């Protein structure tokens, strides 16, 4: 097996991975940086983020407001020291992107424009029309091309972290075009591999979001933190799950039930605000978890519009007019027309909540370090946690910039402090073990299970039992099903036993990652007998700060369900309070 020696190996070349690579190249041009991804960087799912990135820049706003919106939005499960770091660094990172050429939308005087977003007290979302993530990703990718020390390895799928001497020293990966396994031997590893929304059947996430990096870290003994917190975005196209950004509502779009009532006023987010004049932090600008939950209740009451794709609410943007829609929401219009045949200029668009984002992920501290020396993580795959129990819209793009850079600085400092000499023989032995595991899967015959079959069962279970509302009974069943699916996974057999660009193999490995992540979600959710943010239990409806102002830590066990442990939330100055999104609050 070929060994590729590098100082830092970054797994994932989306927003967080690219930001980390650039920060390393700038910090020390002598560092060898390997940027490894299963796709070309511009295919990474950062490109699909639409609305924008939060950072305080306007004079009526303050870091304190951003802190409070984030902590309250996260239902007090955020680590407040980390949130402080996020809000302080956010404006700098967004200006840095501007200096790198990001085409942010502008005010008439040439300064950067901001737009309102859900759960935010002030307007602080920087945006580039409704393709903000796309522009951030391409700006980072293009900027990265000027650094010769960033060596890219596109279309490599990582299979195992290589740990020896108590520290992470690289990973094995399959080069897709040859099918050969390589060992990336590195002083430090940064995982920036994105989320795992594909565990669910109905998601805004692209096909590549399969929790690969999360599973790698988890199997290497790093806890997955707060995995039970899965965000539903309230407004997805009902047939494809395609995201219609929160900016639809930020710009003034309203949500209606089948009688034309703006039903959010009946769920603690009223009173009704004037149509087309959105008021921050109330009604349609309530936080994502509350809006999605309100949908669920209205659906139970039979108040939703029934469509061939299931019950929907209506997102009405007609009053914005064609000019504003074209200028601010061109992608939204294109998507709704193309995929649903509904033009938001002339008709309300049927939408329903859709799985969007994992608040949980690889356990890291405020410096983006995991408990495993030499391993760092940033972006959606990581849980710092600044998102708590419910991420505020437009904090994720900011997070991947701030903590992508932070992971790079931490990795550089870790290397600078000196790591011990590598035991080449021990590393080679570990890499060979990884290769043997892969070969066993590759050559297995007599398998009785199919990838598509197991994947379908996993998705159905997650949708049924780990959705917007959960119950102990349902979660128990989901845990049992997932344990069974993990067992049956050992009996899959590949149909494709060739080497070049073998997507049958790729999908098998992705399924293995998703099953591990899915089990961490359901076991963590079953253990959290309270309701907080995006984790709502029908059998434990109240938030329980005495017992659960703590992060869940799921610890991998090769046989059987993960062990669950807890760690206290870092509270510095904002004690748990009431999340008030009624219009009377201010």
> Can you tell me which of 70, 242, 303, 385 binds other proteins, judged by CB under 8 A?
242
**How far apart are alpha carbons 465 and 526 in whole angstroms?**
10
Inter-residue contact 292 to 132 (CB < 8 Å): no
**How far apart are alpha carbons 94 and 96 in whole angstroms?**
5
Instruction: Tell me which of 43, 66, 135, 233 is the catalytic residue.
Output: 233
- At residue 315, the 3 state secondary structure works out as strand
CB of 41 vs other proteins, minimal distance in Å: 10
Element at 141 (helix H, strand E): helix 132-144
Give the number of residues written for the chain.
Answer: 586
Dihedral angle computed from the Cα positions of residues 132, 137, 140 and 145, in that order, rounded to the nearest 10 degrees: -140
Choose between 37 and 303: whose C-beta lies nearer to other proteins. 37
Inter-residue contact 4 to 183 (CB < 8 Å): yes
Residues whose CB is less than 8 angstroms from the CB of residue 9 and which lie 6 or more positions away in sequence, other chains included: 34, 36, 170, 171, 184, 186, 188, 189, 190
Residues 476-495 that bind other proteins (CB under 8 A): 494-495
CB of 110 vs other proteins, minimal distance in Å: 3
> Can you tell me which of 42, 305, 428, 527 binds other proteins, judged by CB under 8 A?
42
How remote is the C-alpha of 145 from its chain's centroid? 25
Dihedral angle computed from the Cα positions of residues 43, 48, 54 and 60, in that order, rounded to the nearest 10 degrees: 130
Establish if 47 lies at the interface with other proteins (CB under 8 A): yes
Establish if 500 lies at the interface with other proteins (CB under 8 A): yes
Choose between 220 and 509: whose C-beta lies nearer to other proteins. 509
Establish if 439 lies at the interface with other proteins (CB under 8 A): no
> Can you tell me which of 27, 81, 100, 488 binds other proteins, judged by CB under 8 A?
100
**Is 249 a residue of the active site?**
yes
- If 0-12 CB within 10 Å is exposed, 13-18 middle and 19+ buried, where does residue 286 land? buried
Total of residues contacting other proteins (CB under 8 A): 63
Establish if 356 lies at the interface with other proteins (CB under 8 A): no
Segment contacting other proteins (CB under 8 A): 166-174, 201-209, 254-262, 543-551?
201-209
CB of 147 vs other proteins, minimal distance in Å: 10
A 10 A CB-CB count for 565 gives: 14
**Is 487 a residue of the active site?**
no
Establish if 501 lies at the interface with other proteins (CB under 8 A): yes
Choose between 406 and 551: whose C-beta lies nearer to other proteins. 406
360-389 CB burial, b ≥16 within 10 A, e <16: bbbbbebbbbbebebbbbbbbbbbbbbbbb
How remote is the C-alpha of 431 from its chain's centroid? 29
> Can you tell me which of 13, 312, 451, 513 binds other proteins, judged by CB under 8 A?
451
**How far apart are alpha carbons 385 and 34 in whole angstroms?**
27
Question: Whose structure tokens read 């690579």?
Answer: 21
Can the peptide bond before residue 108 be classed as cis, meaning omega within 30 degrees of 0? no
Binding mask 108-137 for other proteins (x = CB under 8 A): xxxxx------------------x--xx--
**DSSP classification of residue 88:** H
Choose between 23 and 78: whose C-beta lies nearer to other proteins. 23
Segment contacting other proteins (CB under 8 A): 1-9, 107-115, 220-228, 556-564?
107-115
**DSSP classification of residue 340:** I
Choose between 132 and 169: whose C-beta lies nearer to other proteins. 132
Q: How far apart are the first and last CA of the chain?
A: 63
Segment contacting other proteins (CB under 8 A): 292-300, 406-414, 457-465, 500-508?
500-508
Inter-residue contact 81 to 366 (CB < 8 Å): yes
Instruction: Tell me which of 19, 152, 249, 537 is the catalytic residue.
Output: 249
Choose between 503 and 541: whose C-beta lies nearer to other proteins. 503
Establish if 95 lies at the interface with other proteins (CB under 8 A): yes
Q: Using alpha carbons only, what angle is made at residue 493 by residues 487 and 498, rounded to the nearest 5 degrees?
A: 145
CB of 186 vs other proteins, minimal distance in Å: 23
Residues 169-188 that bind other proteins (CB under 8 A): 177
CB of 493 vs other proteins, minimal distance in Å: 10
CB of 120 vs other proteins, minimal distance in Å: 20
> Can you tell me which of 19, 43, 288, 470 binds other proteins, judged by CB under 8 A?
43
> Can you tell me which of 504, 545, 565, 580 binds other proteins, judged by CB under 8 A?
504
Residues 510-569 that bind other proteins (CB under 8 A): none
By annotation, the residues acting in catalysis are 233, 249
Chain positions contacting other proteins, by CB under 8 A: 39-40, 42-45, 47-48, 92, 95-96, 98-101, 103-112, 131, 134-135, 138, 142-143, 145-146, 154, 177, 206-208, 239-240, 242-243, 308, 331, 334-335, 338-339, 341, 450-452, 494-496, 498-504, 507
């Amino acid at each position: 097996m070929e060994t590729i020696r590098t100082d830092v190996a970054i797994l994932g070349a989306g927003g967080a991975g690219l930001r980390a690579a650039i920060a390393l190249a700038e910090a020390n041009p002598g560092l060898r940086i390997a940027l490894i991804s299963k796709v070309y960087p511009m295919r990474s799912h950062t490109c699909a983020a639409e609305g924008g990135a939060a950072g305080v820049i306007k004079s009526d706003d303050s870091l304190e407001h951003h802190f409070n919106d984030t902590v309250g939005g996260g239902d007090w499960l955020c680590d407040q020291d980390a949130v402080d770091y996020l809000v302080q660094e956010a404006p700098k990172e967004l200006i840095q992107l501007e200096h790198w050429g990001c085409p942010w939308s502008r005010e008439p005087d040439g300064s950067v424009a901001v737009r309102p977003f859900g759960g935010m007290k002030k307007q602080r979302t920087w945006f580039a029309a409704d393709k903000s993530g796309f522009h951030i990703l391409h700006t980072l990718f293009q900027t990265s091309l000027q650094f010769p020390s960033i060596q890219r390895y596109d279309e490599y799928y990582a299979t195992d972290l290589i740990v020896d001497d108590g520290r992470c020293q690289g990973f094995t990966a399959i080069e897709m075009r040859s099918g050969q396994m390589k060992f990336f031997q590195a002083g430090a590893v940064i995982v920036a591999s994105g989320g795992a929304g594909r565990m669910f059947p109905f998601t805004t996430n692209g096909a590549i979001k399969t929790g690969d990096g999360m599973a790698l870290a988890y199997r290497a003994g790093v806890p997955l933190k707060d995995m039970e917190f899965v965000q539903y975005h309230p407004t997805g196209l009902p047939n494809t799950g395609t995201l219609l950004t929160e900016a639809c509502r930020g710009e003034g779009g309203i949500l209606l039930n089948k009688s034309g009532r703006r039903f959010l006023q009946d769920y603690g987010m009223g009173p009704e605000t004037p149509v087309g004049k959105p008021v921050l932090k109330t009604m349609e600008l309530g936080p994502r978890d509350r809006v999605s939950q309100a949908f669920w209740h209205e659906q139970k009451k039979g108040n939703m519009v029934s469509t061939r794709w299931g019950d929907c609410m209506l997102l009405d943007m007609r009053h914005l007019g064609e000019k504003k829609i074209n200028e601010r929401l061109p992608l939204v219009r294109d998507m709704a027309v193309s995929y649903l045949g509904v033009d938001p200029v002339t008709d309300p668009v049927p939408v329903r909540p859709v799985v969007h984002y994992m608040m949980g992920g690889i356990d890291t501290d405020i410096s983006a370090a995991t408990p495993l020396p030499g391993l760092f993580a940033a972006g959606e795959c990581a849980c710092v946690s600044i998102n708590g129990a419910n991420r505020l819209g437009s904090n994720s793009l900011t997070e991947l910039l701030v903590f992508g850079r932070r992971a790079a600085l931490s990795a550089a400092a870790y290397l600078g402090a000196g790591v011990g000499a590598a035991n080449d023989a021990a590393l080679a032995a570990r890499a060979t073990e990884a290769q043997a595991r892969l070969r066993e899967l590759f050559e297995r015959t007599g398998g009785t299970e199919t990838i598509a079959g197991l994947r379908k069962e996993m998705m159905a279970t997650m949708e049924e039992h780990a959705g917007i509302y959960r119950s102990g009974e349902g979660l128990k069943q989901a845990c049992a099903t997932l344990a069974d699916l993990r067992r049956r996974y050992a009996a899959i057999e590949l149909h494709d036993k060739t080497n070049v660009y073998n997507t049958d193999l790729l999908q098998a490995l992705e399924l293995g990652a998703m099953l591990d992540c899915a089990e961490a979600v359901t076991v963590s959710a079953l253990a959290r007998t309270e309701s907080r943010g995006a984790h709502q239990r029908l059998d434990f409806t109240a938030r329980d700060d005495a017992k659960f102002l703590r992060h869940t830590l799921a610890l991998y066990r090769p046989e059987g369900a993960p062990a669950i442990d807890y760690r206290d939330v870092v509270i510095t100055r904002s004690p748990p309070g009431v999340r008030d999104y009624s219009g009377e609050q201010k």
